[in-house]
Amino acid sequence: MSTIKGPKGKIIAGNLLEFREDPLQFLDKLRSDYKDVAKVRFANRIIYVLMNPDLVKEALVTKASSFEKSNQFKEIMPLVGEGLLTSEGDVHMRQRRMMQPSFKKSTIQNYAESMSSVASKAVEQWQNQDTRSINVDMMNIALGIICKTMFSMDVQESHESIGQPIDDAMHIATKRIRSLIRVPYRIPTSENKRFKAAIHILDEVVYGIIEHRRTLPYSEYEDLLAILLKTKDETDESYMNDQQIRDEAMTIFLAGHETTANAMSWALYLLATHPEVQQKAQEEIDRVVGDSSLQLEHAEKLTYVKNIINESLRLFPPAWLFGRTAIDDVEIGDIKIKAGQNVLFSPYINHRSEEFFDQPNTFIPERFEGDFLKTIPPYAYFPFGGGPRVCIGNHFAMLEATIVLATVLQKFTVSPVYPNQTVEAQPLITLRPKGDLLLQVMRR
């Protein structure tokens, strides 16, 4: 076996400081210098960054049973508990089995009308020539959609009440994941107190809804919470308790609100800076939808809008980096990975590979026409992860993004606020636009 190479690091920190300073640039240089796999060290942790699609597939699919979620990712467990995002082994399999009916394509399609209604009400508040903080708008719309489809709640201007605690918890968890020394949560530092306060606010909201809903007949609602409350585990006929439902609800809040909002924000930014693509999308929307409100049958026909979303997910995948920890000694390709060592995968760098994507740093939605994805290895493009832990909400996210983007473009044209406007990517747990993503909206 050839020796796996990687960048030389500092004596104590290894490559961690360089990674923390600019994660995306660090990963990009790994791809440039080492191509398929690189060995790095974050303090005392040995990590193999897998960049070859075949190696990624082997770790995520073929030998998935030899890995579990990396320990660093479990810094968000105080927020999401032992939900689908963080659970392992038999617990994860049971939860996924119970959650699957909530996210079947046929079930998700029932939420199209709610998605359209929330998006339309939000966009109706926009004024001609407004300068909008598009990332805040998309966070509010995504949060409104999650609240409506999860809890049958109408949430207006909800970013401060629910979105802000999620933001606080995400920033603190990201900082801890990248730290050499982590102060235990039980020690009352100002940051730990802020983290606990954010979770307390969210717990009050979610437990309050669950408690109220248990007093009502399940038949009164057809939302995700109703499905969770009445779903039985087919193996032992048991239901989820309040703690399990809270954990799953919080996981859906985090995954369904944060990631989809970021995906839609990036798509609108790319459309604003590529007016010819935006015009082509609007022509399709005018042809398919006209002046009607967006419905499921429209969304299914908006193929170019979906290509835009796929291309945006290629350039700015919200789940830009994730990892696994080996639970026993395992070989991936010719790499001998010991139990306790880590592997990292980055859709961000795989998606920008010149080997599989022509002009990889250029926004070209047309590349997704036809059977393009069948011409490249499966894990050259994997915005929703893969294997047994592939994102359970991928159909939900794609339908939501299609409806929201089409609703915006049906009524408005988006453009940069100033010439040559660029937005920096901020790699937290998800890949966000840094700061306010300001765009001007012009009524059509």
List pLDDT tens digits, range 224-259.
888 888 877 777 778 888 888 888 888 887 777 889
Report if residue 357 sits inside a domain. no
Q: What count of Cα atoms within 13 Å lies in the side-chain half-sphere of residue 148?
A: 23
Better-scored residue on pLDDT, 320 or 211: 320
DSSP run (H or E) holding 322: strand 322-326
CA distance to 56, 84, 249, 262, 394, per residue, from 101 (Å): 28, 14, 15, 26, 14
Number of domains in the chain: 1
What is the extent of the structural domain holding 174? 82-314+375-443
Q: Is residue 427 part of a domain?
A: yes
Domain assignment present for 131: yes
What crossing angle do the helices spanning 242-253 and 89-99 adopt, rounded to 10°?
A: 80
Give the pLDDT of residue 73: 64
CA 47 – CA 162 distance, rounded (Å): 35
Contact 57, 377 (CB under 8 A): yes
- Collapse the DSSP code of 171 into the 3-class scheme (helix H, G, I; strand E, B; otherwise coil) and give the result: helix
- 97 occurs within a structural domain: yes
The backbone region for 14, taken as left when phi is positive above 0, alpha when psi lies in -120 to 50, beta otherwise, is left
Count of Cβ atoms closer than 10 Å to residue 243 Cβ: 12
- Give the per-residue pLDDT at 180: 62
Q: Assess whether pLDDT exceeds 60 at residue 342.
A: yes
Q: Look at residue 57 and tell me if it is in a domain.
A: no
Name residue 221's amino acid.
Y
The pair phi, psi for residue 246, each rounded to 5°, is -60, -45
CATH number at residue 133: 1.10.630.10
**Is residue 341's pLDDT more than 60?**
yes
- Binding site membership for heme: which residues? 391
pLDDT tens sequence across 260-295: 999 999 999 999 999 999 999 999 999 999 999 999
8-state DSSP, 61? I
CB-based contact 368:311 (threshold 8 Å): yes
Helix spans in 76-189 (H): 77-80, 89-99, 105-109, 112-123, 134-151, 164-177
Q: Report yes or no on 369 lying in a domain.
A: no
Per-residue pLDDT reduced to its tens digit, 44-92: 889 999 999 999 999 999 999 999 876 666 677 777 778 777 777 778 7
Is there a contact between 16 and 47 (Cβ–Cβ < 8 Å)?
A: no
- Residue 189 domain-assigned? yes
% of the chain with per-residue pLDDT over 70: 95
Q: Is 400 exposed, middle or buried, given 0-12, 13-18 or 19+ CB atoms closer than 10 A?
A: buried
321 C-beta neighbours (distance < 10 Å), count: 20
Name every residue whose Cβ is closer than 8 Å to that of residue 348 and which is 6 or more positions away in sequence: 24, 27, 316, 317, 320, 321, 427, 431
Radius of gyration of the CA atoms of the chain, in A? 22
Query: 81-97 pLDDT, tens per residue?
Result: 787 777 777 787 877 88
Token pair belonging to 269: 């930014």
Binding region: 391
The total number of residues shown for the chain amounts to 444
DSSP state of 362: S
Q: Which residue has the higher pLDDT, 336 or 169?
A: 336
Pairs from 127-132 (Cβ < 8 Å, separation ≥ 24): 128/441, 128/442, 128/443, 129/440, 129/441, 129/442, 130/440, 130/441, 131/417, 131/438, 131/439, 131/440, 132/438, 132/439, 132/440, 132/441
Examine the pLDDT at 440 and tell me if it is beyond 90. Answer: yes
Give the model confidence (pLDDT) of 126-150 as tens digits.
Answer: 999 999 999 999 988 998 898 888 8
Cβ burial, residue 292 (10 Å; 0-12/13-18/19+): exposed
